[in-house]
Structure 1
Amino acid sequence: MTAVAVGPRSLVVLAGLPGAGKTTLLADLDTGGAKAVVLDSDQVRGSLKAALPRGLPYRCYRPLVHLLHRSRIAWAALSAPGLVLVHEPSTRATTRAALAGLGALTGRPRHFLWLDASPEEALEGQVERGRLVRSRSFARHVRRAERLRARLSGGVPPRGWQGLTVLTRGDRLRLSVPPR
């Protein structure tokens, strides 16, 4: 169990390659009883899939999933009284910067969790869950993640983030939140 100390109103982003195991890690998350809003794009995807015509390919509504997921993140950062935990690959620097900016604007301490997995492990994870990211898109994630991993391995959080924890696929996560 990896324990990570975060503030009661923190914005915590769980990042990593698609297929790295972020959703699996969140399913076993221990917040120590602290109130937390957990936002995973799979929540939006599942709701839309159930509401849209049966058999509609994901690629047709993927942009809507991303828009709604990011809207939920902004709303939670503005309105949630406690911890906000976000599942987002965040391999793109602009995504990390936007999330850090949102955290700063809403007065939330920011902690970046990186779930480190090799491209092969992440691809295997995609196969296991039955949802493959397009090969060109995955290759872009891999290129960006390699640059980011080099910085993170030195213990340096991304710009705008106050804390950093690097996790592996075998880790279990406990967020240690002091009482208010």
Structure 2
Amino acid sequence: MTTTGTVGTVPAQRAAARPLAMGGPVRDLRGKAARPHRLAFAAGDIVVVSGLPGGGKSTLIKRAAEAGIDSQDARERWERRMPAALPYAVYRPLVRAAHYWGLWRELRSGASVVVHDCGTQAWVRGLLAAVARRRGRALHLLLLDTSPEEALSGQAARGRRVSAYAFARHRGAVTRLLRAAEAGRPPAGCASATLLDRPSAATLTRITFRP
């Protein structure tokens, strides 16, 4: 099933049977009765997953992406090494350095990859877009549209909250991304944007790359 522009409603059996292939620049899967179980991209492409902290990015990557680079993984590895009483802010620079080093090694391999992005770091998308261009491939955005209440609930469930200031920055950045995508404009450097709400993200079980 190939789509162009915003995704329309399709029979549920067809959506479940085949991955949703790349089509137009923006695909809106929010509020759809028929939700795809898979999204398919070309081999060598890069997919970046953005959204509010606590909105389900890490959960989606762990469930659906075989080749996923998640900053949360780096944080958890360092947390296991550090004294429990040591504030995260103290070793956060080390976590970020470890995350970006692992990301850089994966990108240098030329492999297809799904990357966690908090939404506020436009320079990260710029770097990923540049890498994709050098490969002759494309960068794609998966944008999770969750309410602030849903995101805060997700933070509480994982026992890890961001500051009110940081959360406000994330909200502003994600809102700008959403508004641009809703107007048919993927972020700079992105060949496409796919909008997901909680139900469509929960239905998605595979992000695949194929020739």
Are the equivalent residues in 2 in contact too, given 1:20–1:125 (CA < 8 A)? yes
> 1:161 aligns to what SS in structure 2?
coil
Structure 2 counterparts to residues 161-176 of structure 1, below 5 A: 161-171=190-200, 172-173=203-204, 174-176=206-208
Structure 2 counterparts to residues 47-86 of structure 1, below 5 A: 47-80=77-110, 82-86=111-115
The aligned residue for residue 100 of structure 1 is 129
Q: Deviations over 1:139-176 (max 9, x none)?
A: 11111221221011223211111121111122232324
Q: Deviations over 1:84-136 (max 9, x none)?
A: 11111123333322222232234442111101112221111111111001111
Are the equivalent residues in 1 in contact too, given 2:58–2:116 (CA < 8 A)? yes
Aligned length: 173
**Unpaired runs of 5+ in structure 2?**
1-34
**Unpaired runs of 5+ in structure 1?**
none
Match for 2:143: what amino acid? W
Q: TM-score, normalised by structure 1?
A: 0.86
Q: Which has the higher Rg, Structure 1 or Structure 2?
A: 2
Q: TM-score, normalised by structure 2?
A: 0.74
> 2:144 aligns to what SS in structure 1?
strand
Structure 2 counterparts to residues 10-159 of structure 1, below 5 A: 10-29=45-64, 36-80=66-110, 82-159=111-188
The two structures, once aligned, show a CA RMSD in angstroms of: 1.9
Structure with the larger RCO, 1 or 2 (CA within 8 Å, 6+ apart): 1
**Sequence identity, in percent?**
38
Are the equivalent residues in 1 in contact too, given 2:44–2:135 (CA < 8 A)? no
